[in-house]
Amino acid sequence: MTTRIPAAVPAVVNIAAALARFSDHWAQRRIAGINDYDVKVAKIQGEFVWHTHDDTDEFMLVISGRLTVRFREGDVVLDPGEFVVVPRGVEHCTAAAEETSILLLEPAGVVNTGDAGGELTKAVRELEPS
């Protein structure tokens, strides 16, 4: 068995520190990549747009605050440390009464508003170096 040794020691990412470096809502920041996936953080408050992602599931983990994920069949409420996987093609809408920080895991290039588009559509930005 061969052990793969990294060319450089991988960077450690502190999620709380990453979230402290920006304040805008609904603007995802890429903090890492895993294969063809982006690991992103975002701060949200208020209600997002109803949308679907036809080609991918969506993983959302609450870091702080409280997240409501609305589905046509009913709502799911998540507290810190809880996550939900929204299956591909399932219409949903996220909402947070208070500022809520989340971590997302999605394939690179996924548009935040899915099929809905509109003014809340924002390109994923790299978290700028500290």
Q: Are 76 and 41 in contact (CB under 8 A)?
A: no
Supply the pLDDT for residue 61.
98
Q: Are 19 and 43 in contact (CB under 8 A)?
A: yes
Q: Distance (Å, rounded) from C-alpha 20 to C-alpha 6?
A: 29
Supply the pLDDT for residue 102.
97
- Both tokens assigned to 96: 């947070």
Supply the pLDDT for residue 79.
98
Domains of the chain: 27-111 (2.60.120.10)
Q: Are 82 and 46 in contact (CB under 8 A)?
A: no
pLDDT band per the 50, 70, 90 thresholds, residue 74:
very high
Rounded to 5 degrees, what angle do the CA atoms 81, 52, 29 make? 50
